[in-house]
Amino acid sequence: MHTKLCLGCGQKFYTIRNRKKFCTMKCYKDNYNKALKEGRLNLPEVICSKCGEKTKLDFVPKKSKDLWNNWKCPHCGYKDEERKE
């Protein structure tokens, strides 16, 4: 067992895995949402298959599938129909 301090609330907790950083899923989600609002999250970059320009997304594609499926390149306006998941 490892004794750790939660990065979200600062509480002491016990864990089997040494890599765990949050005591509960609530602390993890609160920390994630706070980082997203403050812009500290590393959001992905997309390279347009038509014009080749890089664009940094302002959302996480896995969590916002509707935004990802409707995303158009801001440089050329191309919407890749094969990209849909």
State residue 59's pLDDT score: 81
pLDDT digits (tens, 9 = 90+) for 41-54: 777 888 888 888 88
Please report where in the chains the tokens 């997203």 appear, as a residue: 36
Q: Is 14 helix (H, G, I), strand (E, B) or coil?
A: strand
pTM, rounded to two decimals: 0.50
> Domain segments of the chain: what residues?
2-38, 45-83
The CA distances from residue 49 to 43, 54, 68, 76, 83, in Å, are 19, 10, 15, 11, 10
C-alpha to C-alpha distance for 85 and 78, rounded to whole angstroms: 17
Q: What whole-number percentage of the chain has pLDDT above 90?
A: 25
Average pLDDT, the chain: 85
Give the tens place of pLDDT for each residue, 13-23: 999 988 899 99
pLDDT above 60 (res 62): yes
